[in-house]
Chains A and B, each alone.
Chain A
Amino acid sequence: MKQPQMNRRSVLKAGAGLAGLAALGLPASAFAQERRLRMYWWGSKERADRTLQVNKLYQNTYTGVAIDGETLAWGDYWPRLATQTAGRNAPDVIQMDYRYIAEYARRGALLPLDPHVGKGLDLKDFPPSVVDSGKVDGKIYGISLGGNTSSTIYDKDAFAAVGLPPPNLDTDWKAFAKLMAEFTKAAKRPGYFGSQDGGGLEPIFEGWLRTRGQELYTPDNKLGFGEKDIEEWFAYWADMRASGGCVTPELQALDKQNVENNMLTLGKAAIGFAHSNQLVAFQSLNKSKLAMTSYPTGGPGAKPGQYIKPSMLFSLSARTKEVDEAVRVLNFFVNDVTAGKILGVERGVPASAPVLKGIAESLDDLGRAMADYIAAMNSRVGPLPQTPPGGAGEIQVLLRRVNEQIGFDRLKVADGAKLFVSEASRILARG
């Protein structure tokens, strides 16, 4: 048999073939003439549809730049953003969360926007508190895409059917527990309860703490509450489970802290806790009519537990090559009324009063309910808490786990409180 021979010609041929392959493999954008921006956000399909529509509108208004949209669910969003940022390949326009903005800004991944304010980025209709919510160490790194606050979302039809009044802005924690137990009794459906189990959910715990004048974390990044406090909290939900006011632990374990698997959506409870802007997504997955009110309050004279925060922000990558274009896109999203009409209140209620006024007419009932809710809450909210310390994400998971351990009878309430405080302190010490 003839050995395969290599000579100059065959090597050249192979080289030409490889070059051809390489050319095929190159992304088409390398040859495209137009400039491109990448925009990246998390959220539901509803959000993707609206965002892509605004991007199209932008491209029709300002020719010369194309926007590529990329979207993922919350859980997958952050690993990918971190990986891309580490690979010096971050998207130009980044949807940012209040929880993460400080980390990204301090590590130099985001572009300070101060030089562009008044020159391409118009913030004159933004309340100063909203502008501040996008600041890290005194510089603006993110622009709020809408305000939201925590809320109690309830099934209006279910409450009407049993003849009980749904919770309202004045319902306190005690009255809430009583109402939930009554609801479950009145509904008389096995496996159907008044409320979801909120004992493992950090936002609700935070709301409850703040009515007592406490915070999750102190300014020097320690726990802002003690063992006795969280013991009281776990006991509240243990009592709730015992009275049948909230779902069983087996059911609550199915809740993956998203709209799709919330107890309300799964038809296990008449009440779910969520961010106010999620009402749109909840309603799209629920057949019965939903409505919203605040978390239970601390009763007369207590401090307001809730706060209005940017539901999400737009930030720009520090490495974006098209700074002016990216700033213009950002400005379009927060100041253009036509864009505002498309976006509605799906990302929260717009910060700019003229935009809110401009879109008011085009809002549907749901959007109006949300805008009304935020307006009603304006006088009942406290200041924004400090950005959470490193390890806060882990403590969020810990709260859920300890509440499960108590729910499944693996731990007594007092031992759960002790375990939580000792593990949380460990996590904070590690940072």
Chain B
Amino acid sequence: MTTLASPSVAVGGARWVRSLRRNLPGYLFLLPWLLGFLGLTLVPALGSLYLSFTEFDLLRDPRWVGAANYVRIATDDPKFVASLYVTFVYVALSVPLKLALALAVAMLLNKGIAGLPLYRAVFYLPSLLGASVAIAVLWRQLFAGNGLVNQVVFLLFGVQGPSWISDPDYTLYTLVVLSVWQFGSPMIIFLAGLRQIPQDIYEAAQIDGASKVRQFFRITLPMLTPVIFFNAVVKTIDAFKAFTPAYIISEGTGGPIDSTLFYTLYLYQEAFAYFRMGYASALAWILLVIIAFFTAFSFLSSRYWVHYDD
């Protein structure tokens, strides 16, 4: 061996080729995903970055306008501000409420009741259907002025409820309720997390006389923080990207009076109703930065409240 020159110096290229040859089957198996990622995600995303610096109406070629789109968004677009506000309210309300409900149901289901798989499936069902058009349409029927919800309200309280989906004071909250109702996937993850907490900790606490409430705040919550963290990040990103419910319930208008004008809906209108693809691309990149900011903030703050047991 010592008589040979170091192969890494003398035939570096060959080594690269050899390594590629060895790993080729792996890459080949990866290819379908890789092609999808490159062709459907990365390249279009970079394309939209380019378009965000242009004026592009689909029919004519894109025209370079520099940062004009971004300048306009920052200085001269009340709809951008309005849609951002609607989206923030939606995220701030729907994510904590959804996680709280998911955790509550997960704790109920964690008690080892009979028929658990059935309950789990039933509670998970809304999440499977949640983003679908059919559910949003159903929601429209339920929450209309003379829909089922108001009929129940009338029976119980004898008052005529408002029109939940056409009165601008209520529409956004109706969408929050729709989102909270789809608590299935965080619930399943919470359930798995609860199963991971060693029972002996609870037993020890019980012997020491800790109440159930105290056990929840001192054992369950801290032990669950990694799961809460995961759910919070994923659901926050989802909530920022929510589109279908608002689109269906307002039929794409974001109305009444822009009360359901989610950021994504505004972006969609700019792109596909007014054919300002460049401007819409700039809006999309700003949304990306906002989501990245919140995710980074979650990760940075996590070291202060997320406990990973060693």
- Cβ distance B229 to chain A, nearest Cβ, rounded Å: 38
Tell which of A75, A109, A250, A400 touches B145, judged by Cβ atoms closer than 8 Å.
Answer: A250
Interface string of A1-22 (1 = CB under 8 A from B): 0011010000000100000000
Tell which of B166, B255, B273 touches A393, judged by Cβ atoms closer than 8 Å.
Answer: B273
Tell which of B24, B28, B58, B168 touches A404, judged by Cβ atoms closer than 8 Å.
Answer: B168
When distances are taken between beta carbons in the complex, the residues of chain B under 8 Å from A83 are 58
Q: Is A107 an interface residue (CB 8 A)?
A: yes
- Cβ distance A108 to chain B, nearest Cβ, rounded Å: 8
Decide yes or no: A103 and B59 within 8 Å by CB, A75-B251, A82-B275 being known contacts: yes
When distances are taken between beta carbons in the complex, the residues of chain B under 8 Å from A124 are none
Judging by beta carbons under 8 Å apart, are B257 and A405 in contact?
A: yes
When distances are taken between beta carbons in the complex, the residues of chain B under 8 Å from A251 are 145, 163, 166
Decide yes or no: A254 and B21 within 8 Å by CB, A107-B59, A408-B257 being known contacts: no
When distances are taken between beta carbons in the complex, the residues of chain B under 8 Å from A109 are 59
Tell which of B253, B257, B273 touches A410, judged by Cβ atoms closer than 8 Å.
Answer: B257
Q: Is B100 an interface residue (CB 8 A)?
A: no
Q: Is A253 an interface residue (CB 8 A)?
A: yes
Judging by beta carbons under 8 Å apart, are B168 and A408 in contact?
A: yes
Decide yes or no: A401 and B273 within 8 Å by CB, A251-B145, A253-B166 being known contacts: no
Judging by beta carbons under 8 Å apart, are A404 and B255 in contact?
A: yes
Q: Which residue of chain B lies nearest to A268 when distances are taken between CB atoms in the complex?
A: B145
In the complex, chain B residues 167-207 whose Cβ is within 8 Å of any chain A Cβ? 167-168
In whole angstroms, how far apart are the Cα atoms of A75 and B145 in the complex?
25
Judging by beta carbons under 8 Å apart, are A401 and B258 in contact?
A: yes
Interface size class of A (residues with CB under 8 A): 20 to 34
Q: Is B252 an interface residue (CB 8 A)?
A: yes
In whole angstroms, how far apart are the Cα atoms of A97 and B59 in the complex?
16
Q: Which residue of chain B lies nearest to A430 when distances are taken between CB atoms in the complex?
A: B72
When distances are taken between beta carbons in the complex, the residues of chain B under 8 Å from A14 are 28
In the complex, chain A residues 276-330 whose Cβ is within 8 Å of any chain B Cβ? none
- Cβ distance A421 to chain B, nearest Cβ, rounded Å: 15
Q: Is B144 an interface residue (CB 8 A)?
A: yes
Interface string of B32-43 (1 = CB under 8 A from A): 000000000000
Q: Is B308 an interface residue (CB 8 A)?
A: no
When distances are taken between beta carbons in the complex, the residues of chain A under 8 Å from B251 are 75, 256, 261
When distances are taken between beta carbons in the complex, the residues of chain A under 8 Å from B22 are 3
Judging by beta carbons under 8 Å apart, are B253 and A250 in contact?
A: no
Most A CB contacts (10 A, CB to CB) among B57, B144, B145, B165 go to B145
Tell which of A82, A253, A394, A405 touches B59, judged by Cβ atoms closer than 8 Å.
Answer: A82
Q: Is B162 an interface residue (CB 8 A)?
A: yes
When distances are taken between beta carbons in the complex, the residues of chain A under 8 Å from B165 are 254
In whole angstroms, how far apart are the Cα atoms of A254 and B144 in the complex?
9
In the complex, chain A residues 218-254 whose Cβ is within 8 Å of any chain B Cβ? 249-251, 253-254
Interface string of B248-262 (1 = CB under 8 A from A): 000111011110000
Q: Is A115 an interface residue (CB 8 A)?
A: no
When distances are taken between beta carbons in the complex, the residues of chain A under 8 Å from B167 are 250, 253, 408
Q: Is B304 an interface residue (CB 8 A)?
A: no
- Cβ distance A1 to chain B, nearest Cβ, rounded Å: 13
Tell which of A86, A250, A391 touches B58, judged by Cβ atoms closer than 8 Å.
Answer: A86
When distances are taken between beta carbons in the complex, the residues of chain A under 8 Å from B255 are 253, 400-401, 404
Decide yes or no: A250 and B162 within 8 Å by CB, A4-B25, A404-B168, A404-B257 being known contacts: yes
Q: Which residue of chain A lies nearest to B60 when distances are taken between CB atoms in the complex?
A: A107
In whole angstroms, how far apart are the Cα atoms of A394 and B255 in the complex?
14
- Cβ distance A159 to chain B, nearest Cβ, rounded Å: 24
Q: Is B272 an interface residue (CB 8 A)?
A: yes
In the complex, chain A residues 367-395 whose Cβ is within 8 Å of any chain B Cβ? 391, 393-394
When distances are taken between beta carbons in the complex, the residues of chain B under 8 Å from A256 are 251, 253
When distances are taken between beta carbons in the complex, the residues of chain A under 8 Å from B257 are 401, 404-405, 408, 410
Q: Is B274 an interface residue (CB 8 A)?
A: yes
Tell which of B59, B145, B146, B271 touches A104, judged by Cβ atoms closer than 8 Å.
Answer: B59
When distances are taken between beta carbons in the complex, the residues of chain B under 8 Å from A353 are none
Judging by beta carbons under 8 Å apart, are A393 and B59 in contact?
A: no
Q: Is A79 an interface residue (CB 8 A)?
A: yes
In whole angstroms, how far apart are the Cα atoms of A78 and B272 in the complex?
8
Judging by beta carbons under 8 Å apart, are A86 and B59 in contact?
A: yes
Q: Is A397 an interface residue (CB 8 A)?
A: yes
In the complex, chain B residues 231-262 whose Cβ is within 8 Å of any chain A Cβ? 251-253, 255-258
- Cβ distance A258 to chain B, nearest Cβ, rounded Å: 8
When distances are taken between beta carbons in the complex, the residues of chain B under 8 Å from A6 are 21, 24-25, 28
Judging by beta carbons under 8 Å apart, are B166 and A250 in contact?
A: yes
Q: Is A85 an interface residue (CB 8 A)?
A: yes
Judging by beta carbons under 8 Å apart, are B253 and A82 in contact?
A: no
In whole angstroms, how far apart are the Cα atoms of A359 and B19 in the complex?
77
In whole angstroms, how far apart are the Cα atoms of A107 and B24 in the complex?
47
- Cβ distance A91 to chain B, nearest Cβ, rounded Å: 15
In whole angstroms, how far apart are the Cα atoms of A83 and B144 in the complex?
34
When distances are taken between beta carbons in the complex, the residues of chain A under 8 Å from B256 are 249, 253, 404, 408
Q: Which residue of chain A lies nearest to B165 when distances are taken between CB atoms in the complex?
A: A254
When distances are taken between beta carbons in the complex, the residues of chain A under 8 Å from B272 are 78-79, 82
In whole angstroms, how far apart are the Cα atoms of A231 and B225 in the complex?
57
Judging by beta carbons under 8 Å apart, are B166 and A394 in contact?
A: no
- Cβ distance A252 to chain B, nearest Cβ, rounded Å: 8
- Cβ distance B259 to chain A, nearest Cβ, rounded Å: 9
Interface string of B123-155 (1 = CB under 8 A from A): 000000000000000000000111000000000
Tell which of A85, A391, A397, A408 touches B253, judged by Cβ atoms closer than 8 Å.
Answer: A397
Q: Which residue of chain B lies nearest to A18 when distances are taken between CB atoms in the complex?
A: B31
When distances are taken between beta carbons in the complex, the residues of chain B under 8 Å from A3 are 22
Q: Which residue of chain A lies nearest to B252 when distances are taken between CB atoms in the complex?
A: A75
In whole angstroms, how far apart are the Cα atoms of A107 and B271 in the complex?
18
- Cβ distance B236 to chain A, nearest Cβ, rounded Å: 29
In whole angstroms, how far apart are the Cα atoms of A256 and B256 in the complex?
10
- Cβ distance A425 to chain B, nearest Cβ, rounded Å: 13
Residue positions of A touching B, CB distance < 8 A: 3-4, 6, 14, 75, 78-79, 82-83, 85-86, 103-104, 107, 109, 191, 249-251, 253-254, 256, 261, 391, 393-394, 397, 400-401, 404-405, 408, 410
Pairs across A and B, CB under 8 Å, 22 listed: A3-B22, A6-B21, A6-B24, A75-B251, A75-B252, A79-B271, A83-B58, A86-B59, A103-B59, A250-B166, A253-B167, A253-B168, A253-B256, A254-B144, A254-B163, A254-B166, A393-B273, A401-B257, A404-B256, A404-B257, A405-B257, A408-B256
Residue positions of B touching A, CB distance < 8 A: 21-22, 24-25, 28, 57-60, 144-146, 162-163, 165-168, 251-253, 255-258, 271-275
Nearest 3 Cβ contacts at the A-B interface = A253-B166, A79-B272, A86-B58
Query: With contacts A4-B25, A82-B275 known, what are 10 further pairs, Cβ within 8 A?
Result: A82-B57, A83-B58, A107-B60, A191-B145, A256-B253, A391-B274, A394-B274, A401-B255, A405-B257, A408-B168
